[in-house]
Amino acid sequence: MSISTSGMNAAQSQLEIASQNLTNAETNGYKSFRAILGDAYAQAGTASVDMAGVTLLATRQEFAQGQLTQSGNAFDLGIDGKGFFVLGNNGEQLFSRAGLFTQDKENYLVNPSGYRLRGFGVNNQGAVDTSKLVDLQVIQANRPGKATTKASATINLNASEPVINRTTVALNPSDPRTFSWYGALNIFDSLGEQHTLGSYFTKTETSQWLLEFQVDGQSLKQTENLTFNSSGLLTTPADAQFSLTPPELPSGAVLQPLAMDFSGITQFAIDSSFRPLVVDGQMAGSLNQVSFADNGFLQGSYSNGEQYLLGQVALATFPNDNGLVVNGNNTWMSSMVSGTPLFSPSGLNGAGLIRAGFVEQSNVDLASGLSDVILAQRNFQVSAKAFQAEDVLSQTLINLT
């Protein structure tokens, strides 16, 4: 009867495992289990075999890829391939395939259980530092501005413009009759505040022009004389490279010396034009939005129109995934059997690719799961029938005695 009992116990274990899989068919990142059975003997290795039925040798988890589905959540992540998200829980390190994250009150990225998502931080140069793991946090600090140091523009001055006598007509930016053409560039000081650099072109003689500058309406002492040949090309100065010394600012910020490149300037008999090409520097910015990009890059979008890298999600890979210890809440713990984890960015050292805005579904096959339930039920019934038959035989022997 003990053999039949072992069969019922094994079938019950199979049924429990199949039920566990079916129950978690909609659990993100869940990996299905399977029962591994083995024949059992009270005595083996001799001519006389003392049979003992069946035993559950192991419950093994299957780490096959689950389907990635688009979620629309900016903080959801899915792993396409090998690897696990690294989570921190009060100094304990856990691992998960369920990439559903949000921000907590301290702006750390956490999963539904409150475990912090770990990854790589960013150094002072804005590059990812893969030398150590950190808890990923959305830094709320504003980004500093950057002063402008160089600017360039493509310019044409209309050769048909009338001559203006600068000795008798002073520049008045509000009166277009006092200059021939005007172009503006937005430049930034050391605190990230925006200023307007105006370039005023005045035709003073045939093929000769006077270039004057203003910053926020304040005239600079520096002026430049431009001379063109009969083909409309600049002859003086030869390179049209100017270095401007901006005025001091009352705010205490500093405007850096500006390297101006007007080397493409021409004087053709077509409409005047002034098109900025390159202006470096930027205004200060406050954080507007945070989201993940593919490969696990955490990016912040700021009010100055810039995007900055805030960190990158790390993936852990193991020599033996089957050595991981189930911890519940969609997490595992490492063990001596799993081996030491290797922490890598997405797509490196055998780690899979991180897909932003996707989550991994359970890898449970519903059809197979239902089939496993039916088979486990039948195995239990067969063993129960054998138990019943053995019970009848035992009763018969008792009655004979």
pLDDT in tens, 4-37: 677 677 777 778 888 888 888 999 999 998 888 7
Contacts of 340 (CB under 8 A, 6+ apart): 318, 319, 334
The overall average pLDDT reported for the chain is 89
Give residue 56's pLDDT: 77
If asked whether residues 223 and 168 sit together in one domain, one would say yes
If asked whether residues 236 and 117 sit together in one domain, one would say no
Give residue 220's pLDDT: 93
Which candidate, 93, 32, 82, places its Cα nearest to that of 59? 32
Fill in the DSSP letter of residue 233. Answer: B
Q: Which two tokens stand for residue 115?
A: 């475990």
If asked whether residues 123 and 56 sit together in one domain, one would say no
Higher pLDDT, 190 or 16: 190
If asked whether residues 303 and 368 sit together in one domain, one would say no
Count CB-CB contacts under 10 A for residue 289: 10
For 360-390, write each residue's pLDDT tens digit: 999 988 887 777 777 767 766 766 666 566 6
* Burial grade of 205 (CB within 10 A; 0-12, 13-18, 19 or more): exposed
Query: What stretch of H or E contains 190?
Result: none
Whether the CB-CB separation of 343 and 316 falls below 8 Å is answered with yes
Q: Kindly state the average pLDDT of the residues 188-209.
A: 95
Which candidate, 84, 82, 79, places its Cα nearest to that of 67? 79
Count CB-CB contacts under 10 A for residue 383: 22
Q: Which domain holds residue 367?
A: 2-64+362-400
- Measured CA to CA, the distance from residue 83 to residue 318 in angstroms comes to 8
- Measured CA to CA, the distance from residue 400 to residue 190 in angstroms comes to 107
Which candidate, 245, 224, 219, 223, places its Cα nearest to that of 234? 224
If asked whether residues 347 and 366 sit together in one domain, one would say no
Q: Give, in degrees to the nearest 5, the angle at Cα 177 between 229 and 211.
A: 40
Strand 258-261 and strand 150-156: pairing? parallel
CATH number at residue 207: 2.60.98.20
If asked whether residues 110 and 93 sit together in one domain, one would say yes
Query: What stretch of H or E contains 89?
Result: strand 84-89
Q: Kindly state the average pLDDT of the residues 212-229.
A: 95
Give residue 388's pLDDT: 64
If asked whether residues 110 and 183 sit together in one domain, one would say no
